[in-house]
């Protein structure tokens, strides 16, 4: 499977961490969205077998994840393929597959949390950076944890993406600041293509 991929970094200094600081999450999210629109995308190819394998880490077990993605992009099968459950599972599987394919993250080092959010967890997954050489290099880190929030829309609207970015930034800062790292994965359908953006917070 081929998708368009880009990434960017956000410095922790840009985010408010004190009640006396101005809440600029929405404004920063708008600038992130604009950067995503103007980003230079690379074409990333991911093995369908990896995507299907990674479905075991997703919130819901849905058969044939790769088939659902193809149907959604190219065949416009209708509501079934645009449902929240499908887009959620697709986004999780693609995020984990990209981490594995592009950043060499071990599948056994991805700890999914979304299915137990009723316990109060506010992030979707976590990775121990200490076990991942490529992530340490990208982040300039010696160790720590990478907390992940995943957002997707098969019918994207700017206000929706900006709102989801703001909420994801707030959630990540509650768990990662000051010693760890964050990643927001944003996956959207763009005509007959899937665009994936990684926003690293460090």
What end-to-end distance do the CA atoms of the chain give, in Å?
Answer: 30
In the prediction, which pLDDT does 51 show? 80
**42 pLDDT tier (thresholds 50, 70, 90):** very high
In the prediction, which pLDDT does 78 show? 46
Looking up tokens 């200094």 gives 13
Euclidean distance between CA atoms 29 and 7, whole angstroms: 15
In the prediction, which pLDDT does 127 show? 97
Q: What is the pLDDT of residues 169-186, one digit of tens each?
A: 988 988 998 899 999 999
Q: Do residues 197 and 34 lie in contact, with contact meaning Cβ atoms separated by under 8 Å?
A: no
**61 pLDDT tier (thresholds 50, 70, 90):** low
Q: Cα 1–94–88 angle (5° rounding)?
A: 125
DSSP class per residue in the chain: -EEEEEEEEE-GGGS--STTS---HHHHHHHHHHHHHT--PEEEE--HHHHHHGGGGSSS--S-HHHHHHIIIII---HHHHSHHHHHHHHHHHHHHHHHHHH---GGGEEE-GGGGGGT--SSEEEEGGG-HHHHHHHT-SS-EEEEEEEEESS--HHHHHHHHHHHHHHHHHHHTTTSEEEEEEEEEETTEEEEEEEEE-
In the prediction, which pLDDT does 81 show? 45
Residue-averaged pLDDT of the chain: 83
Instruction: Identify the CA nearest to 84 among candidates 57, 113, 107, 114.
Output: 114
Instruction: Identify the CA nearest to 56 among candidates 123, 112, 7.
Output: 112
Note the pTM of the prediction, 2 decimals: 0.86
| Confidence check: pLDDT of 118 > 60 | no
Position with higher pLDDT, 85 vs 95: 95
Q: Do residues 1 and 69 lie in contact, with contact meaning Cβ atoms separated by under 8 Å?
A: yes
In the prediction, which pLDDT does 60 show? 62
| Confidence check: pLDDT of 82 > 90 | no
Q: What is the pLDDT of residues 86-105, one digit of tens each?
A: 777 888 889 999 999 999 99
**40 pLDDT tier (thresholds 50, 70, 90):** very high
In the prediction, which pLDDT does 185 show? 97
Please compute the mean of the pLDDT values over residues 108-120 and round it to a whole number. 74
Position with higher pLDDT, 193 vs 82: 193
In the prediction, which pLDDT does 52 show? 78
- Best-predicted range by mean pLDDT (54-58, 75-79, 129-133): 129-133
In the prediction, which pLDDT does 87 show? 74
């Amino acid at each position: 499977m081929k998708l368009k991929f880009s990434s960017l970094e956000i410095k922790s200094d840009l985010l408010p961490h004190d009640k006396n600081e101005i809440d600029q999450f929405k404004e920063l999210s708008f600038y992130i969205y604009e950067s995503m629109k103007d980003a230079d995308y690379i074409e990333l190819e991911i093995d369908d077998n990896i995507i299907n394998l990674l479905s075991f880490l997703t919130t819901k077990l849905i058969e044939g994840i790769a088939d659902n993605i193809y149907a959604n992009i190219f065949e416009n099968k209708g509501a079934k393929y645009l449902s929240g459950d499908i887009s959620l599972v697709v986004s999780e599987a693609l995020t984990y597959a990209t981490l594995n394919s592009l950043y060499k993250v071990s599948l056994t080092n991805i700890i999914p949390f979304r299915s137990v959010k009723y316990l109060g967890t506010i992030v979707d997954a976590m990775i121990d950076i200490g076990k991942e050489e490529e992530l340490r290099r990208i982040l300039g880190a010696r160790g720590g944890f990478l907390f992940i929030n995943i957002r997707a829309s098969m019918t994207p609207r700017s206000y929706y993406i900006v709102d989801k970015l703001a909420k994801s930034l707030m959630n990540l800062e509650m768990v990662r600041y000051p010693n760890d790292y964050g990643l927001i994965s944003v996956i959207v359908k763009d005509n007959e293509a899937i665009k994936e953006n990684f926003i690293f917070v460090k």
